[in-house]
Every structure is written in structure tokens, then in C-alpha cells.
Amino acid sequence: MSRKHWSLHCSYAYPVSLCALCLCGSFAPAAELKIGSKIMVESRILGEMLTHLARDAGATVTHREGLGGTLVVWQALLRGDIDAYVEYTGTIRAEILSGKGVRGGGAMRRALAEQGILTSWPLGFNNTYAIGMHEATAERLGIRSISDLRKYPDLRFGFSNEFRTRADGWPGLQKRYGLPQTDVKSLDHELAYRGVAAGSLDATDVYSTDAAIRQYGLRVLADDLQYFPAYQAVILYRTDLTERATEAVDALLRLEGRIDEVTMVDLNARVQIDGKNQSVVAAEFLNQLQRQPTQVGAAPEPILAAPAEAIVESSAGRLLRLTWQHLGLVAVSLAAAVVVALPLGVLAARQPALGQVLLGATGIIQTVPSLALLIFLMPWLGLGATPAILALFLYSLLPIVRNTLTGLRDIPLTLRESAVALGFSPVARLRLVELPIASPTILAGIKTAAIINVGTATIAGLVGAGGYGQLIWEGISLGTGGTGLMVQGAAAAAIMALAVQGLFELAERLIVPKGLRLKPE
């Protein structure tokens, strides 16, 4: 090819190639992000902000909200079940990096980077721990600081489950101030607030940006010995996010330095007190920031390419979606339990010594708190339905194994001997004689497991598995403003339990031989 023809070829090939690259870029799949948040209102609002920002950058975003405490969300981030969430520096040092001797911000960032996690600069507000009392109680006793609590050893304390045990919580606080109180309970954070307001508790832990301080009329006691560290809000995100979703990361980091403490308190109040949807509140705030400067003297920097729009699901649509999720959790776990527990029950009836071991093992599982079991399973199974289904499956084993064993063991000896005399093989005796006779008792065990599952499945909302628990836990976090959600979730679970019981009554008519059905006297 001559130089002239080669130049002519290149003059056409270059724009064609450029157009091809542009077309490929325009059809490239959008980055997929999973944003996480804890159960507390503030975390869910901040999670919605991250969701809006990433979506504005062109990413496909899922917000896995209300995932429980620090351990649950952190494990989800490490596994890749979520890509980013908002955490607090004090919590990072005291809980996530506990025992590593991390002091300054640089050391904290390096320690996180070693685990594949990056952190933003602070978002602008410090949500530190504090101790709160009802204003009337504190005024009557003359208590203004944490040191003043030493004068009243009979005070009743109620702390959130995390604060009660974590290194920067009650154990260290009690030691630092020499507090003599022994009546200390662990309970849900929102329930502790309500207990203080009702007078059944005298003090609880509070977050300095929590709208509940205003809502319940609490006095925040001065930390006169400066025990609590700074809890600056920062974004934690996976290192690989900088490669597969660069524009989304840039969008998230625009939130740095944009939220002060007064603003955060107001945002929390809009959701917790005024009852506004968290996605709407987050969108309104981001739209207000659209032309605000990041710092004094800086040029205005747009935080969004287009105004944020909240996606609010209708109440009926949400309830229907959660119903299918809840029903799926119960149905799958129960079906698996029946397949496994029935043979175990038969084996236990055939081998009495082994039967005692099986009953003991399944009984021990029942004693493990459901939330503890879910947290134990999370590092291996991640978030979502899988750990929830496995936990429900394990809880279903005992009633089915026990009732199968009882039903087979209580078959009259004369009937067993008659089946042997007729020449039935062991398998035939089991299929044609023993299981039909024991079927009412076995079915009762399955029904018990099903109803237990309907109630226990509400805990699955804390690990992103959905179901009615999402309504209940969200309602608890909203305080008095969330009573409607709690009632809705609890009522829906009760109705499902009644429906399950009715279905089993119908199943008894179809499965249990007519002559073996229990009749009322």
C-alpha cells in the first residue's frame, strides 16, 4: 500500500474507530453498587444520601438498609455483600480495629486499607456517645455531669446492647468514673429511650445528634472527664470500588464536610419526629446542597448532576413484597426441615440411645438466641435470605424430630406385632402402618415448627432478608412515630400464623386417615 493510500486509510479509520469507542462506552453496563446502613435512623438517612449520589453518577444502586449493629454491617462490607456505608471514627477504633493500638487518623486509614477498605474524610459532624436522663429527674437530683451519678448508686440504667458490652461503652465508662450502679440492663436503644421517658429507667446512652433527645425531653450529661472519643462520620468503601465505579466513588466523596451537627439533628428529627420518608429527606437535603460551597471561600461545587428524586414505595406494594419475602423464608426453611427431621425422628425411634443425642442436639440449637445465630452464620453465608433460612431450618428441627419420635414410640405394641405377623417388611411397616398412625402427632410437630418460623422470621430483617421484620425494626428505630409500622408488621405476622394454622387443619383432613383424626369430646 502506498504512503498516499495509507494516509487516506488512516484518515477514515481514525474517526470510525473513535465513533466505535464512543458507542462501546455508551453501551457499557452501569456500575452496580450496594449501599448498607444500620438500623438507626441516622444511618439509614445517610445510606439514602449515598444511594442518591451514586445513582446520580450513573450507577445501579441497591440500598440494603437496617442491617443491625456494627458487626453485621462491617462483616457485610468485608465480604462484599455491600460496597459502602457510613461509620464513625470512634466505633472504628474501639470496635472494628479493637486491640490493634490504632490512635491517629493516619494509622486508622492504614489499618483499614490492609483489609481492603478505604475511608473518606469526615462528613462534618461528630455523633459521639453521651449519657442522658429525663430532664425532670436530672433536675430533681441535681445531676448535670456523669460524675454526679456517683452520688446515687441506686439509679437504674438501661443501655443499648452494643453500648452495654463494647470497649468504648459501659465497661470503660464505669471504670473511668467509678460508677457504683449495679442495676444495669441491656435492651434495644429505642426501648431504652422509652423506658427513661416512662420513668422505668433513670439513664441511658444517647447519640449527640439523635432527635430522640428532643423528642423525649432528655438532659445530656456533661462528659466532665472526657471519656468518650470523637465519633466523626466517615464513608467506608471497598478498595475495588475505585476501579469498577470510579465516578460513583467521586460522587460519594462530594459529601465530605457537607453536614454539620445541627443539620444532622434536624434531618433525624424530620424522619423520627415529623414522620417523613428517609429517602425524601435525603433527597431534599442533597438538592439544597446543590450550589453550596464545600468550605469558606471555596467556589460553589455542584454535588449532583440533576436534582435527586426519592423513590417511595406505596404502603400496599411494600406490604405485598414483604409478605412474599416472609412467606418464602418460612416455606423454604420448613420444607428443608421436614425433609431432614422426619428421617431423624424415625432413626431416633429405632435407636433410643441415638434418639437422646439427636433430641439433645436439636434442643441446644433452640437455646441459641436467633440474632446471635444469624451473626454467627454471616461470615460464611453473608447477608440476605441464606443465613436466615438456615437459622429457621435449625430452629424447626426440634419440634418435628420430637413429635416424630413420640408418634412412632406411642404406637401400641399389638399393632406392631400384627404388622410383623402379616409379614410386612420394616419399610412396609413404616410406610403402611407406623407413619399413618403417627401422622397426627407428626403433623402437629410440623405445624408447631411452621408457626414458630413465622414469628422468628421477623429477626431476618436485621440481615437484609426482608419480611415483616423490616417493618418492625424500622418502627422500633423511629420511636413513637414508628408505632404504626410495628403494629403493621406484628399484625401481618399474626395473620400469617393464623393462616398457616388453618392450612394445617386442612392438610390434616387430607393426610391423616379419617379413623385416626382427633375428635372433640
DSSP line for 220-235: EPB-TT--S---BEEE
Distance CA 433, CA 424 (A): 9
Q: Return the H-helix or E-strand segment holding 117.
A: strand 117-119
Residue 17 CB coordination number (10 Å) = 11
- At the topology level of CATH, where does 129-220 sit? D-Maltodextrin-Binding Protein; domain 2 (3.40.190)
- Model pLDDT, residue 378: 82
Which residues, 6+ apart, have CB-to-CB distance to 438 below 8 Å?
404, 407, 408, 410, 411
pLDDT score of 276: 92
Give the start-to-end residue ranges of the domains of the chain. 29-126+231-291, 129-220, 316-516
Q: What is the pLDDT of residue 19?
A: 45
Domains 29-126+231-291 and 129-220 share a fold: yes
* Contact criterion met (CB below 8 Å) for 300 and 286: no
Q: Are 364 and 307 in contact (CB under 8 A)?
A: no
CA gap 446, 403 in Å, rounded: 8
pLDDT of 20 reads: 43
Alpha-carbon gap, residue 130 to 169, rounded angstroms: 10
Fold of 29-126+231-291: D-Maltodextrin-Binding Protein; domain 2 (3.40.190)
Confidence at residue 292, expressed as pLDDT on a 0 to 100 scale: 59
Question: Do 11 and 5 form a contact (C-beta atoms < 8 A)?
Answer: no
Residue 497 pLDDT: 93
Query: How high is the pLDDT of residue 10?
Result: 42
Contact 249/237 with Cβ under 8 angstroms? yes
Residues of the chain with pLDDT below 70 are 1-29, 290-301, 512-521
For 376, residues 6+ apart whose C-beta sits below 8 A from its C-beta are: none
Q: What is the dihedral of CA 245, 246, 249, 251, to 10 degrees?
A: -110
The confidence score (pLDDT) of residue 492 equals 94
CA 84 to CA 80: how far, in whole Å?
9
- CA–CA–CA angle 516, 518, 521 (5° rounding): 135
Q: What pLDDT does 516 receive? A: 55
Q: For position 180, what pLDDT does the model report? A: 94
Angle ∠(372,377,382) on CA atoms, nearest 5:
120
Whole-angstrom distance, CA of residue 47 vs CA of residue 283: 11
Q: Residue 99 — φ and ψ, nearest 5°?
A: 85, -5
Other CB atoms within 10 Å distance of the CB of residue 293:
12
Q: Compute the Cα dihedral for 187, 66, 115, 119 and give only its sign.
A: negative
Residue 357: partners with Cβ closer than 8 Å, 6 or more residues away: none
Domain 316-516 has CATH 3.20.20.80: no
pLDDT at 300: 53
Q: Find the angle CA(39)-CA(40)-CA(45) to the nearest 5 degrees.
A: 100
**Among 196, 200, 198, which residue's Cα sits nearest to residue 221?**
196
